[in-house]
Amino acid sequence: MNKGLLDIEALGRPEIEALLDRARDFQPLQQRKEKRLDLLGGRLVVNLFFEASTRTRISFEIAAKRLGADAISISSQGSSVSKGETLLDTVSTLSAMRPDAIVMRHAASGAPHFLARHLPIPIINAGDGQHEHPTQALLDARTILDNRSSLEGLRVAIIGDILHSRVARSNIHLLAKFGVDIVLCGPAPLVPQELTGLAPGVSITYDIREALRETDIIMMLRVQLERQNETNFPAGEYSRFYGLRAENLALAKPDAIVMHPGPMNRGREISTEVADSSRSVILSQVENGIAVRMAVLEKVLQ
Ligand code: NCD
């Protein structure tokens, strides 16, 4: 990972396990009054966000600071990107200021890979288009393992706009490496058949009841309207057929957990009742985002 962290697809099981174990070491720190360690004192992390973000950007910043590093965040609005500078020029300019890593989110799939090929600095992918969002899959796996003894043999339903979801792709790659039975579900145009070829153990259903039946883990996804040209998205119909509510949640295993990477559209893909219920681990996912990103930054910067 000397080149940073670009995607989950390229990682082996031992590397993933090491990051998840290290994240577990950092979890108790979040409850302490004094939260800072000095493992990365004097190092500099730049967060460069070309797309909107709340959770990912803030938690990368907090993670860097909790490790004792300096962190600065910039977004494309308010930077010279809005004056027409190319991506490579923007990032070359930043790397001339000698940060130790750049965390980047970009709307183009492959943008961090492109930069990693051209620049000597480690790049951490914080979400590239509809391709991958590796730290999200790691924090999701950490959250599942906080609730289950192992990933092996679990049945995980990923429901919603799979086509445009980098969260789904990273999760599919990660979970498949651990022998998880992965069921993708959503309206046919948003769940193309080719996705079954992405990794072993992936199946597709267009019926949410079938996806939920006897499942251990439910991951709900937001409809990525910003990545579609849809002007008249049938929100009411979508929610009737693919929304998670108390009555269809009852089809899952009695101890099934409900996940969502956020931001949620309450009343569309998930009801408020379910989102706020004891089955929901959505805020644990957010909390684990810090521990997991600490593990990733430590690995990349050391
Ligand atoms: C996701 C993203 O940006 O890919 N959000 C996140 O990082 N937690 C999911 C989304 O935007 O729907």
How many structural domains comprise the chain? 2
More confident residue, 85 or 142: 142
Does ligand 1 have an atom closer than 6 angstroms to the CB of 167? Answer: yes
Token output for 260: 């969502």
Does ligand 1 have an atom closer than 6 angstroms to the CB of 24? Answer: no
Catalytic site residue 177?
no
Residue whose CA is at the smallest distance from ligand 1 atom 11: 263
117, 146: one domain: no
Residue ranges making up the domain that contains 274: 134-283
Predicted pLDDT at 77? 78
Predicted pLDDT at 129? 97
pLDDT tens for each residue of 189-211: 999 999 999 999 999 999 999 99
CA distance 134 to 94: 23
Residue whose CA is at the smallest distance from ligand 1 atom 7: 56
Catalytic site residue 56?
yes
CA distance 192 to 196: 8
Predicted pLDDT at 3? 78
265, 247: one domain: yes
Catalytic site residue 173?
no
Cα-to-centroid distance, 257 and ligand 1 (Å): 19
79, 31: one domain: yes
Average pLDDT rounded to a whole number, residues 135-155: 98
Average pLDDT rounded to a whole number, residues 18-36: 96
54, 69: one domain: yes
Does ligand 1 have an atom closer than 6 angstroms to the CB of 227? Answer: no
- Say which CATH number the domain at 278 has: 3.40.50.1370
Closest CA to 188 of 226, 170, 162: 162
Does ligand 1 have an atom closer than 6 angstroms to the CB of 56? Answer: yes
141, 123: one domain: no
Determine what percent of the chain falls in helix, strand and coil, rounding each to the nearest 5.
45, 15, 40
Does ligand 1 have an atom closer than 6 angstroms to the CB of 222? Answer: yes
CA 154 to chain centroid, in Å, comes to 19
> Quick check: 2 pLDDT over 60?
no
Predicted pLDDT at 218? 98
Give the pLDDT band (50/70/90) at residue 117.
Answer: very high
Q: Which residues pair with 259 in a beta bridge?
A: 219
Give the pLDDT band (50/70/90) at residue 231.
Answer: confident
Predicted pLDDT at 227? 87
Residue whose CA is at the smallest distance from ligand 1 atom 12: 222
Looking at 8-22, 84-98, 124-138, 265-279, which range is the least confident one? Answer: 84-98
Token output for 132: 């991958």
Token output for 53: 């973000």
Catalytic site residue 133?
yes
Residue 267: partners with Cβ closer than 8 Å, 6 or more residues away: 239, 243
Catalytic residue among 55, 213, 227, 253: 55
11, 115: one domain: yes
Average pLDDT rounded to a whole number, residues 80-84: 80
Cα-to-centroid distance, 170 and ligand 1 (Å): 12
SS3 263: coil
Predicted pLDDT at 78? 74
> Quick check: 1 pLDDT over 70?
no
pLDDT-above-90 percentage for the chain: 90
Predicted pLDDT at 302? 87
172, 96: one domain: no
Q: Which amino acid is at 123?
A: I
163, 215: one domain: yes
Predicted pLDDT at 257? 98
